[in-house]
Amino acid sequence: MTERLILSLDAMGGDQAPHVVVAGIELALRLHPGVHYLLYGDEAQLGPLLECSRDVAAVCTVRHTAERVSNDDKPSQVLRQGRKTSMWLAIQAVKDGEASGVISAGNTGALMAMAKILLRTLPGISRPAIATVLPSRQGDVVMLDLGANSDCDAQNLVEFAIMGEVFARTVLGLARPSIGLLNIGAEDMKGNEAVRTASALLRASPLPIRFHGFVEGDDIGAGTVDVVVTDGFTGNVALKTVEGTARLYAGFLRDAFHGSFLARLGYFLARPALTRVKNRTDPRRYNGAMFLGLNGVCVKSHGGTDDVGFANAIGVAASLVTRGFNDRIKDEFATLQFGAPSSAAVASHR
Protein backbone atom coordinates (compact mmCIF):
# COMPACT_ATOMS: atom_id res chain seq x y z
CA MET A 1 0.00 0.00 0.00
CA THR A 2 1.13 3.52 -0.74
CA GLU A 3 0.71 6.72 1.25
CA ARG A 4 -1.82 8.08 -1.21
CA LEU A 5 -5.30 6.63 -1.05
CA ILE A 6 -5.94 4.47 -4.10
CA LEU A 7 -9.38 3.05 -4.88
CA SER A 8 -10.17 0.63 -7.67
CA LEU A 9 -13.45 1.04 -9.53
CA ASP A 10 -15.50 -1.39 -11.55
CA ALA A 11 -16.14 1.25 -14.22
CA MET A 12 -18.59 -0.99 -16.11
CA GLY A 13 -20.94 -1.83 -13.19
CA GLY A 14 -24.37 -0.18 -12.86
CA ASP A 15 -27.22 0.87 -15.10
CA GLN A 16 -25.48 3.94 -16.51
CA ALA A 17 -21.86 2.83 -16.46
CA PRO A 18 -19.30 4.03 -17.23
CA HIS A 19 -20.79 7.53 -17.53
CA VAL A 20 -22.01 7.77 -13.91
CA VAL A 21 -18.73 6.38 -12.57
CA VAL A 22 -16.70 9.13 -14.23
CA ALA A 23 -19.26 11.81 -13.24
CA GLY A 24 -19.11 10.48 -9.67
CA ILE A 25 -15.32 10.81 -9.61
CA GLU A 26 -15.66 14.40 -10.84
CA LEU A 27 -17.91 15.24 -7.89
CA ALA A 28 -15.63 13.35 -5.51
CA LEU A 29 -12.68 15.52 -6.58
CA ARG A 30 -14.13 18.25 -4.40
CA LEU A 31 -15.88 16.16 -1.73
CA HIS A 32 -13.15 13.57 -1.18
CA PRO A 33 -9.92 15.01 -2.57
CA GLY A 34 -6.61 13.23 -2.68
CA VAL A 35 -7.83 9.90 -4.04
CA HIS A 36 -6.32 8.16 -7.05
CA TYR A 37 -8.52 5.77 -9.02
CA LEU A 38 -7.77 2.57 -10.91
CA LEU A 39 -10.54 2.40 -13.51
CA TYR A 40 -11.26 -1.11 -14.77
CA GLY A 41 -13.30 -1.16 -17.95
CA ASP A 42 -13.55 -0.59 -21.66
CA GLU A 43 -10.89 1.88 -22.80
CA ALA A 44 -12.92 2.75 -25.89
CA GLN A 45 -15.76 4.00 -23.69
CA LEU A 46 -13.68 5.43 -20.87
CA GLY A 47 -11.19 7.31 -23.08
CA PRO A 48 -13.66 9.86 -24.53
CA LEU A 49 -15.26 10.44 -21.12
CA LEU A 50 -11.88 11.21 -19.54
CA GLU A 51 -10.91 13.48 -22.42
CA CYS A 52 -13.87 15.68 -21.53
CA SER A 53 -12.59 16.15 -18.00
CA ARG A 54 -8.87 16.71 -17.55
CA ASP A 55 -9.25 16.98 -13.77
CA VAL A 56 -10.75 13.49 -13.61
CA ALA A 57 -8.20 12.10 -16.07
CA ALA A 58 -5.42 13.42 -13.83
CA VAL A 59 -6.50 11.19 -10.91
CA CYS A 60 -7.32 8.08 -12.96
CA THR A 61 -5.39 5.17 -14.40
CA VAL A 62 -7.44 3.19 -16.92
CA ARG A 63 -6.91 -0.59 -16.95
CA HIS A 64 -8.56 -1.99 -20.02
CA THR A 65 -10.79 -5.01 -20.10
CA ALA A 66 -13.57 -5.73 -22.58
CA GLU A 67 -15.46 -8.08 -20.26
CA ARG A 68 -18.07 -7.13 -17.69
CA VAL A 69 -20.51 -8.78 -15.31
CA SER A 70 -24.14 -8.28 -16.29
CA ASN A 71 -27.05 -8.06 -13.87
CA ASP A 72 -28.39 -11.41 -15.04
CA ASP A 73 -25.14 -13.31 -14.44
CA LYS A 74 -25.34 -15.85 -11.64
CA PRO A 75 -22.62 -15.73 -8.99
CA SER A 76 -21.56 -19.35 -9.67
CA GLN A 77 -21.21 -18.54 -13.37
CA VAL A 78 -19.05 -15.42 -12.93
CA LEU A 79 -16.78 -17.20 -10.47
CA ARG A 80 -15.96 -19.73 -13.19
CA GLN A 81 -15.93 -17.51 -16.25
CA GLY A 82 -15.65 -13.93 -15.03
CA ARG A 83 -11.99 -13.61 -14.13
CA LYS A 84 -11.34 -11.04 -16.84
CA THR A 85 -14.34 -8.87 -15.98
CA SER A 86 -13.94 -5.30 -14.74
CA MET A 87 -15.49 -6.37 -11.43
CA TRP A 88 -13.07 -9.23 -10.80
CA LEU A 89 -10.01 -7.20 -11.79
CA ALA A 90 -11.05 -4.26 -9.60
CA ILE A 91 -11.32 -6.56 -6.57
CA GLN A 92 -8.05 -8.26 -7.55
CA ALA A 93 -6.33 -4.86 -7.30
CA VAL A 94 -7.28 -4.74 -3.60
CA LYS A 95 -6.10 -8.29 -3.01
CA ASP A 96 -2.76 -7.44 -4.69
CA GLY A 97 -2.33 -4.35 -2.52
CA GLU A 98 -2.51 -1.97 -5.48
CA ALA A 99 -5.68 -0.36 -4.12
CA SER A 100 -7.05 0.00 -0.57
CA GLY A 101 -10.68 -0.41 -1.53
CA VAL A 102 -12.98 -1.29 -4.40
CA ILE A 103 -16.34 0.16 -5.48
CA SER A 104 -18.82 -1.40 -7.89
CA ALA A 105 -22.38 -0.51 -8.88
CA GLY A 106 -22.78 -3.92 -10.54
CA ASN A 107 -24.50 -7.21 -9.69
CA THR A 108 -24.54 -7.54 -5.86
CA GLY A 109 -24.49 -11.35 -5.74
CA ALA A 110 -21.54 -11.53 -8.12
CA LEU A 111 -19.66 -8.82 -6.23
CA MET A 112 -20.12 -10.60 -2.89
CA ALA A 113 -19.13 -13.99 -4.36
CA MET A 114 -15.99 -12.60 -5.98
CA ALA A 115 -15.05 -10.51 -2.95
CA LYS A 116 -15.35 -13.53 -0.66
CA ILE A 117 -13.16 -15.67 -2.94
CA LEU A 118 -10.53 -13.01 -3.60
CA LEU A 119 -10.34 -11.09 -0.32
CA ARG A 120 -11.37 -13.83 2.17
CA THR A 121 -12.84 -13.02 5.55
CA LEU A 122 -10.86 -11.40 8.35
CA PRO A 123 -9.51 -13.71 11.09
CA GLY A 124 -12.31 -14.73 13.47
CA ILE A 125 -15.12 -13.81 11.09
CA SER A 126 -17.00 -16.67 9.49
CA ARG A 127 -19.16 -14.63 7.12
CA PRO A 128 -19.04 -11.12 5.73
CA ALA A 129 -22.12 -8.91 6.07
CA ILE A 130 -23.61 -6.08 4.06
CA ALA A 131 -24.18 -2.89 6.07
CA THR A 132 -25.64 0.50 5.37
CA VAL A 133 -26.45 3.73 7.17
CA LEU A 134 -30.07 4.91 7.45
CA PRO A 135 -31.68 8.13 8.71
CA SER A 136 -33.52 8.08 12.05
CA ARG A 137 -35.01 10.56 14.54
CA GLN A 138 -31.76 10.37 16.51
CA GLY A 139 -29.31 10.63 13.60
CA ASP A 140 -27.68 7.94 11.51
CA VAL A 141 -28.27 4.27 12.28
CA VAL A 142 -26.18 1.36 10.95
CA MET A 143 -28.02 -1.80 9.93
CA LEU A 144 -26.53 -5.19 8.99
CA ASP A 145 -26.79 -7.81 7.44
CA LEU A 146 -28.76 -6.66 4.42
CA GLY A 147 -28.71 -9.78 2.32
CA ALA A 148 -25.31 -11.49 2.26
CA ASN A 149 -26.61 -14.33 4.45
CA SER A 150 -30.23 -15.54 4.23
CA ASP A 151 -29.79 -17.95 7.12
CA CYS A 152 -27.78 -16.87 10.14
CA ASP A 153 -26.95 -18.60 13.40
CA ALA A 154 -26.30 -16.88 16.72
CA GLN A 155 -22.54 -16.74 16.15
CA ASN A 156 -23.03 -14.93 12.82
CA LEU A 157 -25.27 -12.37 14.51
CA VAL A 158 -22.68 -11.80 17.26
CA GLU A 159 -19.99 -11.20 14.64
CA PHE A 160 -22.27 -8.73 12.83
CA ALA A 161 -22.89 -6.94 16.12
CA ILE A 162 -19.17 -6.52 16.75
CA MET A 163 -18.52 -5.31 13.20
CA GLY A 164 -21.44 -2.87 13.41
CA GLU A 165 -20.19 -1.54 16.72
CA VAL A 166 -16.68 -0.98 15.39
CA PHE A 167 -18.13 0.73 12.31
CA ALA A 168 -20.26 3.09 14.41
CA ARG A 169 -17.24 3.92 16.55
CA THR A 170 -14.55 4.33 13.92
CA VAL A 171 -16.49 5.66 10.93
CA LEU A 172 -19.51 7.42 12.46
CA GLY A 173 -17.36 8.61 15.35
CA LEU A 174 -19.73 7.57 18.16
CA ALA A 175 -18.02 7.11 21.52
CA ARG A 176 -20.17 4.28 22.89
CA PRO A 177 -22.59 3.08 20.21
CA SER A 178 -25.53 1.00 21.39
CA ILE A 179 -26.41 -2.29 19.71
CA GLY A 180 -29.86 -3.80 19.21
CA LEU A 181 -30.88 -7.20 17.88
CA LEU A 182 -33.89 -6.98 15.56
CA ASN A 183 -36.72 -9.14 16.88
CA ILE A 184 -40.52 -9.29 17.10
CA GLY A 185 -40.77 -8.20 20.72
CA ALA A 186 -38.60 -6.94 23.55
CA GLU A 187 -39.08 -9.89 25.91
CA ASP A 188 -36.41 -12.59 26.30
CA MET A 189 -38.66 -15.41 25.11
CA LYS A 190 -39.56 -13.68 21.80
CA GLY A 191 -38.27 -14.61 18.37
CA ASN A 192 -36.31 -17.53 17.00
CA GLU A 193 -33.49 -19.59 18.47
CA ALA A 194 -30.76 -17.59 16.71
CA VAL A 195 -31.72 -14.18 18.14
CA ARG A 196 -32.32 -15.56 21.64
CA THR A 197 -28.91 -17.26 21.76
CA ALA A 198 -27.18 -14.25 20.19
CA SER A 199 -28.72 -12.04 22.85
CA ALA A 200 -27.35 -14.27 25.61
CA LEU A 201 -23.90 -14.32 23.97
CA LEU A 202 -23.82 -10.53 23.59
CA ARG A 203 -24.82 -10.03 27.23
CA ALA A 204 -21.96 -12.31 28.27
CA SER A 205 -19.42 -10.85 25.82
CA PRO A 206 -15.97 -9.99 27.20
CA LEU A 207 -15.94 -6.96 24.89
CA PRO A 208 -17.16 -3.74 26.46
CA ILE A 209 -20.00 -3.32 23.97
CA ARG A 210 -23.20 -1.52 24.93
CA PHE A 211 -25.86 -4.14 24.17
CA HIS A 212 -29.36 -2.70 24.40
CA GLY A 213 -31.19 -5.99 23.86
CA PHE A 214 -33.96 -6.65 21.37
CA VAL A 215 -35.40 -3.93 19.17
CA GLU A 216 -38.36 -4.02 16.78
CA GLY A 217 -38.94 -2.75 13.24
CA ASP A 218 -40.16 0.67 14.38
CA ASP A 219 -36.99 1.19 16.41
CA ILE A 220 -35.00 1.59 13.16
CA GLY A 221 -36.67 4.91 12.33
CA ALA A 222 -36.94 5.92 15.98
CA GLY A 223 -33.17 5.59 16.35
CA THR A 224 -33.52 3.60 19.59
CA VAL A 225 -30.03 2.13 19.02
CA ASP A 226 -27.05 3.11 16.86
CA VAL A 227 -26.57 -0.35 15.36
CA VAL A 228 -29.39 -2.70 14.30
CA VAL A 229 -28.23 -6.31 13.89
CA THR A 230 -30.22 -8.91 11.98
CA ASP A 231 -29.96 -11.80 9.52
CA GLY A 232 -29.67 -11.01 5.82
CA PHE A 233 -33.22 -12.04 4.98
CA THR A 234 -34.92 -9.87 7.58
CA GLY A 235 -32.46 -7.01 7.06
CA ASN A 236 -32.99 -6.94 3.31
CA VAL A 237 -36.78 -6.93 3.73
CA ALA A 238 -36.57 -4.22 6.41
CA LEU A 239 -34.29 -1.99 4.31
CA LYS A 240 -36.51 -2.26 1.24
CA THR A 241 -39.61 -1.73 3.39
CA VAL A 242 -38.08 1.53 4.64
CA GLU A 243 -37.44 2.57 1.03
CA GLY A 244 -40.91 1.52 -0.14
CA THR A 245 -42.70 3.27 2.72
CA ALA A 246 -40.72 6.46 2.13
CA ARG A 247 -41.71 6.37 -1.55
CA LEU A 248 -45.36 5.70 -0.65
CA TYR A 249 -45.55 8.73 1.64
CA ALA A 250 -43.65 10.92 -0.81
CA GLY A 251 -46.21 9.90 -3.45
CA PHE A 252 -49.17 10.66 -1.17
CA LEU A 253 -47.66 14.07 -0.41
CA ARG A 254 -47.09 14.82 -4.10
CA ASP A 255 -50.74 13.95 -4.81
CA ALA A 256 -51.87 16.17 -1.93
CA PHE A 257 -49.84 19.21 -3.02
CA HIS A 258 -51.18 18.90 -6.56
CA GLY A 259 -54.74 18.52 -5.34
CA SER A 260 -55.84 22.17 -5.24
CA PHE A 261 -54.66 25.69 -5.92
CA LEU A 262 -54.28 26.43 -2.19
CA ALA A 263 -52.27 23.26 -1.66
CA ARG A 264 -49.96 24.21 -4.53
CA LEU A 265 -49.51 27.68 -3.05
CA GLY A 266 -48.87 26.09 0.35
CA TYR A 267 -46.23 23.87 -1.22
CA PHE A 268 -44.58 26.87 -2.85
CA LEU A 269 -44.31 28.68 0.48
CA ALA A 270 -43.09 25.63 2.39
CA ARG A 271 -40.77 24.49 -0.39
CA PRO A 272 -37.42 25.44 1.22
CA ALA A 273 -38.41 23.55 4.37
CA LEU A 274 -39.69 20.56 2.37
CA THR A 275 -36.50 20.51 0.33
CA ARG A 276 -34.56 20.17 3.57
CA VAL A 277 -36.65 17.09 4.43
CA LYS A 278 -35.97 15.71 0.97
CA ASN A 279 -32.23 16.28 1.32
CA ARG A 280 -32.22 14.82 4.82
CA THR A 281 -33.71 11.57 3.51
CA ASP A 282 -32.14 11.57 0.04
CA PRO A 283 -31.33 7.92 -0.80
CA ARG A 284 -28.22 9.14 -2.64
CA ARG A 285 -26.84 10.44 0.66
CA TYR A 286 -27.08 6.89 1.99
CA ASN A 287 -25.73 5.19 -1.13
CA GLY A 288 -22.83 2.80 -0.63
CA ALA A 289 -23.50 -0.52 1.07
CA MET A 290 -20.41 -1.85 2.80
CA PHE A 291 -19.23 -5.45 2.68
CA LEU A 292 -17.85 -5.80 6.19
CA GLY A 293 -15.60 -8.58 7.46
CA LEU A 294 -13.35 -8.99 4.40
CA ASN A 295 -9.60 -8.50 4.04
CA GLY A 296 -10.08 -5.26 2.15
CA VAL A 297 -12.66 -2.53 1.75
CA CYS A 298 -15.48 -3.31 -0.70
CA VAL A 299 -18.42 -0.98 -1.31
CA LYS A 300 -21.51 -1.68 -3.42
CA SER A 301 -23.13 1.35 -5.00
CA HIS A 302 -26.80 1.18 -5.99
CA GLY A 303 -27.01 0.15 -9.65
CA GLY A 304 -29.39 2.95 -10.55
CA THR A 305 -27.71 5.82 -8.70
CA ASP A 306 -26.43 9.03 -10.27
CA ASP A 307 -23.17 10.95 -9.88
CA VAL A 308 -24.15 12.25 -6.42
CA GLY A 309 -24.83 8.71 -5.19
CA PHE A 310 -21.66 7.31 -6.72
CA ALA A 311 -19.56 10.10 -5.19
CA ASN A 312 -21.11 9.19 -1.84
CA ALA A 313 -20.11 5.54 -2.32
CA ILE A 314 -16.55 6.75 -2.98
CA GLY A 315 -16.74 8.69 0.28
CA VAL A 316 -17.90 5.59 2.16
CA ALA A 317 -14.97 3.54 0.84
CA ALA A 318 -12.52 6.36 1.58
CA SER A 319 -13.81 6.65 5.18
CA LEU A 320 -13.51 2.91 5.81
CA VAL A 321 -9.89 3.01 4.61
CA THR A 322 -8.76 6.20 6.32
CA ARG A 323 -10.43 5.38 9.64
CA GLY A 324 -8.67 2.02 9.64
CA PHE A 325 -11.90 0.10 10.04
CA ASN A 326 -10.42 -3.31 9.20
CA ASP A 327 -7.53 -2.94 11.64
CA ARG A 328 -9.99 -2.18 14.43
CA ILE A 329 -12.04 -5.24 13.49
CA LYS A 330 -8.90 -7.38 13.69
CA ASP A 331 -8.17 -5.97 17.15
CA GLU A 332 -11.66 -6.78 18.39
CA PHE A 333 -11.58 -10.35 17.19
CA ALA A 334 -8.04 -10.85 18.53
CA THR A 335 -9.39 -9.72 21.92
CA LEU A 336 -12.18 -12.27 21.70
CA GLN A 337 -9.76 -15.01 20.75
CA PHE A 338 -6.94 -14.31 23.16
CA GLY A 339 -8.85 -12.70 26.00
CA ALA A 340 -6.58 -9.69 26.44
CA PRO A 341 -7.53 -6.68 24.38
CA SER A 342 -4.72 -5.13 22.36
CA SER A 343 -3.77 -1.61 23.32
CA ALA A 344 -5.52 -0.23 20.24
CA ALA A 345 -8.81 -1.88 21.15
CA VAL A 346 -8.63 -0.63 24.72
CA ALA A 347 -7.81 2.90 23.61
CA SER A 348 -10.67 2.88 21.15
CA HIS A 349 -13.16 2.04 23.88
CA ARG A 350 -12.29 4.95 26.12
Binding site for its own copies (CB under 8 A): 74, 135-137, 147, 150-151, 182, 184-185, 189, 191-192, 216-222, 230, 232-234, 236-249, 251-253, 255-257, 259-260, 262-263, 265-274, 276-277, 280-281
The SS3 of residue 61 is: strand
Residue number with CB closer to its own copies (99 or 152): 152
Shortest gap between Cβ of 5 and its own copies (angstroms)? Answer: 33
The SS3 of residue 123 is: coil
Shortest gap between Cβ of 313 and its own copies (angstroms)? Answer: 20
Between the CA of residue 94 and those of 2, 98, 102, 294, what are the distances in Å? 12, 6, 7, 11
Angstrom distance (rounded) from CA 87 to CA 239:
25
Q: Which residues lie below 8 Å from residue 57, measured CB to CB, with a gap of 6+?
A: 50, 51
Shortest gap between Cβ of 123 and its own copies (angstroms)? Answer: 28
- What are 210's strand-pairing partners? 178
Cβ distance 313 to 327 under 8 Å?
Answer: no
Shortest gap between Cβ of 335 and its own copies (angstroms)? Answer: 31
Residue number with CB closer to its own copies (24 or 135): 135
Q: Are strands 297-300 and 289-292 parallel, antiparallel or unpaired?
A: antiparallel
Between the CA of residue 25 and those of 30, 64, 238, 306, 315, what are the distances in Å? 9, 18, 31, 11, 10
Residue number with CB closer to its own copies (54 or 137): 137
Shortest gap between Cβ of 247 and its own copies (angstroms)? Answer: 6
Residue number with CB closer to its own copies (51 or 252): 252
Angstrom distance (rounded) from CA 78 to CA 100:
23
Residue number with CB closer to its own copies (222 or 336): 222
Q: How many CB atoms lie within 10 A of CB 222?
A: 14
Shortest gap between Cβ of 267 and its own copies (angstroms)? Answer: 6
Residue number with CB closer to its own copies (43 or 282): 282
